[in-house]
Amino acid sequence: MEATNIFKTKPKEQKTGIKKSFPVTGMTCAACASSVESILSHTDGVNKAIVNFASNSVLVDYDETISEEKLQNALREVGYDIIIDADDPVEAQQELQQKHYQDIKNRTIWSAILTLPIFVLGMFFMQWEPGKWISLVLAIPILFWFGRSFFINAFKQAKRGKANMDTLVALSTGIAFLFSVFNTLFPEFWLNRAIEPHVYYEAATVIITFISLGKLLEERAKSNTSSAIKKLMGLQPKTLKIIENGLEKEIPISEVQVGQTILVRPGEKIPVDGEVSKGSSYVDESMITGEPVPVQKSKEEKVFAGTVNQKGSFQFKAEKVGGETLLSQIIKMVQEAQGSKAPVQKLVDKIAGIFVPIVLGISIVTFIVWMSVGGDNAFSQALLTSVAVLVIACPCALGLATPTAIMVGIGKGAENNILIKDAESLELGHKVNAVILDKTGTITEGKPLVTDIFWKHKLENKNEYKEILLAIESQSEHPLAEAVVNHLKEENIVQAEITSFESITGKGVKAKSENGSKYYVGNHKLMVEKNIQIDASLIQTAESLEEKAKTVIFLGNENQVLAILAIADRIKETSKKAIATLQERGIEVYMLTGDNNKTASAVANQVGISNYQGEVMPSDKAAFVEKLQTDGKIVAMVGDGINDSHALAQANVSIAMGKGSDIAMDVAKMTLITSDLQSIPKALELSKRTVLGIRQNLFWAFIYNIIGIPIAAGVLYPVNGFLLDPMIAGAAMAFSSVSVVANSLRLKRVKL
Catalytic residue of the set 273, 422, 438, 640: 438
Other CB atoms within 10 A of residue 259 CB: 10
Cα 710 to Cα 316, 389, 715, distances in angstroms = 78, 8, 6
CB 682 within 8 A of CB 416: yes
| C-alpha 486: how far from chain center | 35
CB atoms within 10 A of CB 247: 7
Which long-range contacts (C-beta less than 8 Å, at least 24 apart) are formed by 530-537?
A: 530/556, 530/558, 532/556, 532/557, 532/558, 532/559, 532/560, 532/561, 533/559, 533/560, 533/561, 534/560, 534/561, 535/456, 535/457, 535/560, 535/561, 537/457
DSSP per residue over 275-316, as a string? Answer: EEEEE-EEEE-HHHH--SS-EEE-TT-EE-TT-EE-S--EEE
The answer to whether residues 318 and 262 touch, using CB atoms and an 8 Å cutoff, is yes
The residues near 726 (Cβ < 8 Å, ≥ 6 apart) are: 179, 198, 200, 384, 387, 388, 391
Strand 281-284 with 308-309, pairing: antiparallel
Beta carbons within 8 Å of 73's beta carbon, 6+ residues apart: none
| Rounded-to-integer distance, Cα 598 and Cα 551, Å | 12
CB 593 within 8 A of CB 614: yes
Hey, what's the torsion of the CAs at 333, 334, 335, 338, to 10 degrees?
120
Nearby residues of 712 by Cβ (< 8 Å), 6 or more positions away: 366, 385, 388, 389, 391, 392, 393, 724, 729
Q: Are strands 261-264 and 295-297 parallel, antiparallel or unpaired?
A: unpaired
Euclidean distance between CA atoms 699 and 739, whole angstroms: 11
Closest CA to 169 of 361, 385, 362, 397: 397
What one-character-per-residue DSSP string does 89-139 give? HHHHHHHHHHHHHHHHHHHHHHHHHHHHHHHHHHHH-TT-HHHHHHHHHHH
Indicate the helix (H) or strand (E) that contains 261. Answer: strand 261-264
Q: Are 406 and 741 in contact (CB under 8 A)?
A: no
Task: Report the chain's C-alpha Rg in angstroms.
Answer: 33
In degrees, rounded to 5, the angle at the alpha carbon of residue 493 between the alpha carbons of residues 489 and 499 is 105
The rounded distance, in Å, linking the Cα atoms of 656 and 620 is 18
Q: What is the DSSP string of 641-677?
A: SGGGHHHHHHSSEEEEETTS-HHHHHH-SEEETT--T
> How many whole angstroms separate alpha carbon 308 and alpha carbon 265?
10
CB atoms inside a 10 Å sphere around CB 324: 13
Q: What is the full DSSP assignment across 31-42?
A: HHHHHHHHHHHT
How far apart CA 443 and CA 579 sit, in angstroms, is 9
Cα–Cα distance measured from residue 256 to residue 700, given in angstroms and rounded to the nearest whole number: 64
Contact 628, 648 (CB under 8 A): no
Q: Measured between alpha carbons, how far is 158 from 31 in angstroms, rounded to an integer?
A: 12
Counting beta carbons within 10 angstroms of the beta carbon of residue 558, is it exposed (0 to 12), middle (13 to 18) or buried (19 or more)?
A: exposed
Question: Could you confirm whether 85 is annotated as catalytic?
Answer: no
Answer for the pair 172, 138: CB distance below 8 angstroms, yes or no. no
- Catalytic residues, by residue number, are 438
